[in-house]
């Protein structure tokens, strides 16, 4: 079983920044894609961003494009989510997930991901 471990998160005022980190216990074809997803209370889980660890190719949800940046450390395989210009509506539990690629791309569909972390809370106050 692959372990997915997130770190970072916390509380910040609107307009501030936070960085989340995510690491997996294995780097295989089944963990070549990494994604960040979030879920606010009473809402469905939604995709935030994904990255193909082999190439660094990224994919973003429209709601965060231009504000959030997903990246990876090629040596360690660790994936980061740099969040800037945070808004209260970004408040949610953020989950990191790992899975295989499909057609050489990383999907924003959570059903494509096999392994999930426990989540880390991000709270943005106005």
Which pLDDT score, from 0 to 100, does residue 78 have? 95
Which residue did the predictor score with more confidence, 102 or 46?
Answer: 46
Strands (E), the chain: 4-8, 10-13, 18-24, 33-39, 46-52, 58-60, 68-72, 79-83, 92-99, 115-116, 120-125
How confident is the model over 1-27, as pLDDT tens digits? Answer: 899 999 999 999 999 999 999 999 999
How confident is the model over 36-84, as pLDDT tens digits? Answer: 999 999 999 999 999 999 899 999 999 999 999 999 998 899 999 999 9
């Amino acid at each position: 079983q692959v372990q997915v471990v997130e770190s970072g998160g916390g509380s910040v005022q609107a307009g501030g920044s936070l960085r989340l980190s995510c690491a997996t216990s294995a780097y295989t074809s089944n963990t070549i894609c990494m994604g960040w997803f979030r879920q606010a209370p009473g809402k469905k889980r939604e995709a935030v961003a994904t990255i193909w660890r082999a190439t660094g190719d990224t994919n973003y949800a429209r709601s965060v494009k231009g504000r959030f940046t997903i990246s990876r450390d090629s040596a360690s395989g660790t994936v980061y989510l740099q969040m800037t210009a945070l808004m209260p509506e970004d408040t949610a539990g953020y989950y990191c997930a790992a899975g295989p690629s499909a057609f050489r791309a990383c999907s924003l569909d959570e059903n494509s991901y096999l392994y999930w972390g426990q989540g880390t809370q991000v709270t943005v106050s106005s």
